[in-house]
Structure 1
Amino acid sequence: MTFTGLAADELEARGGGWTAREIRQQPAMWVATEQLIQALRPHVEAFLAPLMAHTDLRVVLTGAGSSDYIGRSLVPDLLAGLSRRVEAIATTDLVVGGGQLLQRDVPTLLVSFARSGNSPESVAATEIAETYLAQCRHLIVTCNGDGALYRRHHGRPGSLVALLPEATHDRGFAMTSSFTSMALAARRLLLPDQPVDVARIGAAADLVSADHGGSLAAAAGGGFRRVVYLGSRGLAGIADEAALKLLELTDGEIVAMAQTPLGFRHGPKTFVDGETLVVLFLSNDPQARRYELDVAREIAGDGIAGRLLVLAGQGHGLDGLGADLLPGLDGASDAELSFPYLTWAQAFALGRSLALGRTPDNPSRTGAVNRVVQGVTIYPEPGRA
């Protein structure tokens, strides 16, 4: 990564080579993912058409950790674009409470996101859905053709599997290119009439990785002990993921929080002190932007936070707010903004990890957390063993 000032061999030596490469490769992975989805299009249309004929169709987006946040980031656009009921429910919630969360007589499309597909909850959630639902279909978006989830659903009636390019199966601990590629794939699978300009977002992400605006180096070297990510609508899910990336790659040494800008006022703002960096993912939507800029001005006026950084695709209204305006995104949708915004957060987390002497490819010093979750026992559903 250019902003770290480290050559590739030094990144390798410091345990960050895979993470750095996987952040930088994202624009190429987005192009490859778009091509893959276009090739799948006839199969997707045949699979989805009978489902979308149900006006009472329920679409449930599921995954664990980062994979759950993919769903959260997609819900607002899918609600508007599909005119169907759409919810994000984590696999970890479905495993514990599927009987409460699933409605037997409501036709349901379960959209599962999984980098490896080997987390115990991944397959269990699909099986629990089949246990409780009279009509259940599966759309699987995964990066691993050897994973248990892929093997369970590939070629199976009632399931459609989108296997993403092998390089998206990140080798680093933290999900980076896997997250953004699965998010892009699901968006293009379910909202085919809403194109994503992969050339534009790729160019913006490349500029972010090269620290075109200088905000990465300044933030990563600022010594902040707390970070707050703020985002509205679909960008709220991106804020969730950004906070998790920082927690993961710094092994919990930097405390991170995600909130919506308006929700931040309702208590969570007490988190802020002089060692806090507040990062706002600013919307291009005019209405959302009004509210977000009000909050940004309030934070700047308080003078409590160590620094406020506003990442933006449009330049108006940013005076005095310490903004990093990302070039070429003036007309971008919030969905398109999410990709370079998250690239910034990934690169920042990598920089802080290295600055703290951590090894980003495997940051857990105690081994308490693993790349693929371990130690989960799946118990039979009561009365359904």
Structure 2
Amino acid sequence: MFNLTTEELQTKQALTTATEIYQQPEVWQELVKNLMAKKESMQSFLNMILSKHEQVRVIFTGAGTSAFIGDIVAPVLQKENLDKLSFESIPTTDIVSNPDYYLQKDKPTIMVSFARSGNSPESVASVALGEQKIIDFYQVVISCNKDGQLAKNSKDDKNSIILLTPDKAHDQGFAMTSSFSSMMLTAYAFFAPTSFYNNEMMNHLISNGERIVSKVADVIDEILDFDFTRLVYLGSGPLAQLSHEAALKMLELSAGKVVAVHESTLGFRHGPKSILNEQSLVVMFLSSDPYTRKYDLDMLKELSSEDSGMKVIVLTEKEEEKALTAEADWVIAVNDSESSFDSDFYLSLLYVIFAQALALKKSIQLGITPDNPSPDGRVNRVVKGVTIYPN
């Protein structure tokens, strides 16, 4: 996997993380089958809620990577203009510390909790606060762990539904990879089933995912010849939110040795661009939307015109965009099929594989152990040390 043997990955304590990145297309395929089997019960649960209320607020919540899922999915679903539903993304860390800012008593609310383990104290506390403060409160638990506290607490609640990812998505490595993409797909399937169960789109996603995990290491090995110590991820709309997750993967797996930041394409000029120096690597997630893409390409031209010694990587959908080659040091196309994706949502799932694999291989290059990049316990796979106070 990723141009390393199983023995090498074991020696470098990277096998678990590498496997969990590599297996994602296979996990997605299993996930689609599982969700198809639950399609009717999911729709019935949502219809039950919509039949009772004129307008329903949907809060996507989680902490860290789990929170970023909501950040990406919320604008995608808002664009789908689903009747009676409005979507927001609010981290559990904000809900727990400031519940009265975010939980509204008289607004019917579906809280969608994303949780790899389901045992994070903020996740459990956010649900308890929702039940306490909101009159018409409903819950969708999207988790990778059937034995987690979130799943257990909602098991016999008629106002809750539990959606579990395949067992393989319950990542055992430090960083969330399979769990991230699987929970993101599950949320989309629940609220936009017509789009999700488009066989053509899902087949393209899975086949291109298989190609990327098999080949992306070749270009990553070239990139790693450039000794970068700063990494910037840029994107627009949902891809700006994806850049947050991409930067976190590098920060986590490099144990902070690579300064990794994120920003929106247009926001980058407004101060954050100050971070660039001769040891910077900039990764641009190009949008498939023709209008949005104009702004992405303007930033690409601006970066390529600078003589700072930094390097620029562009992730885009199609390989035929050769004009990009003159502007970037590397151009990575994620869709080699004739058909195009109809949303940046699908591109985000392919783009993130690159970010995960880059973080993995940079971690190994730095001599860090990706499966446990923080052996001193400074940060943990499931957060520790949180005190939940009564409200």
CA distance in 2, matches of 1:262, 1:272: 16
Taking the aligned partners of 1:229 and 1:211, their CA distance within structure 2 comes to 21
Distance (Å, rounded) in 2 between the aligned partners of 1:349 and 1:109: 34
Aligned equivalent of 1:199: 203
- Please say if 1:274 is aligned against 2:275: no
Query: Secondary structure in 1 aligned to 2:303?
Result: helix
The yes-or-no answer on 1:326 pairing with 2:327 is no
Secondary structure of 2:141's counterpart equals strand
How far is 1:366 from its partner? 2.3
Cα-Cα RMSD: 1.5
Change (3 A) 1:213 1:10: closer
Q: Which residue of 2 aligns with 1:56?
A: 55
Contact 1:274 1:306 in 2 (8 A): yes
Distance in structure 2 (CA, Å) of the matches to 1:11 and 1:182: 26
Equivalent-residue separation in structure 2 for 1:212 and 1:320 (angstroms): 21
Which aligned pairs between 1:46-85 and structure 2 lie closer than 5 A? 46-53=44-51, 54-81=53-80, 82-83=82-83, 84-85=85-86
Instruction: State whether structure 2 residue 342 is matched by structure 1 residue 336.
Output: no
Q: Residue 354 of structure 1 aligns to a residue in which SS?
A: helix
Task: Using the aligned pairs only, state the percent identity.
Answer: 40
Choose the corresponding residue for 1:222, options 226, 231, 248: 226
Counterparts of 2:187 and 2:212 in 1: how far apart (Å)? 24
If the length of structure 2 is used for normalisation, what is the TM-score?
A: 0.94
* 1:283 aligned residue: 287
* Higher mean C-alpha displacement, 277-286 vs 220-229: 220-229
Secondary structure class of the residue paired with 2:266: helix
Matches within 5 A, 1:206-355: 206-212=210-216, 214-304=218-308, 306-314=310-318, 315-316=320-321, 317-322=323-328, 323-328=331-336, 331-332=340-341, 333-355=343-365
CA contact (8 A) 2:114 2:183 kept: yes
What's the offset of the Cα at 1:214?
Answer: 3.8
3-state SS of 1:141 partner: strand
State the AA in 2 paired with 1:119: S
Q: If the length of structure 1 is used for normalisation, what is the TM-score?
A: 0.95
The aligned runs of 1:134-213 (5 Å cut-off) are 134-195=135-196, 197-212=201-216
- Name the CA shift for 1:212/1:363 in 2 (closer, same or farther; >3 Å): closer
Q: Deviations over 1:217-270 (max 9, x none)?
A: 122332100000111111122111100000000101001011110011111011
Question: Are positions 1:32 and 2:42 aligned together?
Answer: no
What's 1:99 paired with? 100
> 2: CA distance between counterparts of 1:57 and 1:220?
47
Residue 358 of structure 1 pairs with residue 368 of structure 2 = yes
SS in 1 for 2:313: strand
Q: Distance in 2 between matches of 1:178 and 1:221?
A: 30
| CA shift for structure 1 position 163 | 1.1
Could you tell me which amino acid in structure 2 is paired with residue 151 of structure 1? Answer: K
Q: Deviation string for 1:152-191 (max 9, x for gaps)? A: 1123120000011111100100000000000011101110
Letter in 2 for 1:331: S
Aligned mates of 2:316, 2:333 — CA distance in 1: 5
Unpaired runs of 5+ in structure 2?
Answer: none
Other-structure match for 2:388: 378
What is the identity, as a one-letter code, of the residue corresponding to 2:64?
G
How far is the alpha carbon of 1:213 from its aligned partner?
Answer: 8.3
Q: Secondary structure at the match of 1:58?
A: strand
Maintained 8 Å contact 1:221/1:355: no
Is the contact made by 1:277 and 1:305 (CA closer than 8 Å) also made in structure 2? no
Query: How big is the shift at 1:24?
Result: 0.6
How far apart are the structure 2 equivalents of 1:305 and 1:76?
Answer: 35
Counterpart-to-counterpart distance in 2, 1:145 and 1:190: 21
**More deviation in 120-129 or 213-222?**
213-222
1:367 aligns with 2:377: yes
Task: Give the residue type in structure 1 aligned to 2:127.
Answer: T
Q: Deviations over 1:306-347 (max 9, x none)?
A: 101100003435241232222426611211111110000000
Other structure's SS at 1:302 match:
coil
Moved more, 229-238 or 25-34: 229-238
Q: Give 2:349's aligned amino acid.
A: F
Q: 1:354 to 1:160 in 2, by over 3 A?
A: same
Alignment partners' CA distance in 1, 2:239 and 2:32: 21
Q: Which runs of 5+ in 1 are unaligned?
A: none
How far does residue 138 in structure 1 lie from its aligned partner after superposition? Answer: 0.2
Q: Aligned AA for 2:88?
A: E
Number of residue pairs the alignment of both structures matches = 379
For 2:6 and 2:195, locate their aligned partners in 1 and report how far apart those are by CA, in whole Å: 37
Deviates more, 1:242-251 or 1:189-198: 189-198
Is it true that 1:128 corresponds to 2:129 in the alignment? yes
Q: Distance in 2 between matches of 1:259 and 1:305?
A: 21
SS of 1:131's equivalent in the other structure is helix
Q: Distance in 2 between matches of 1:289 and 1:130?
A: 42
Deviation at 1:50, TM superposition (A): 3.1
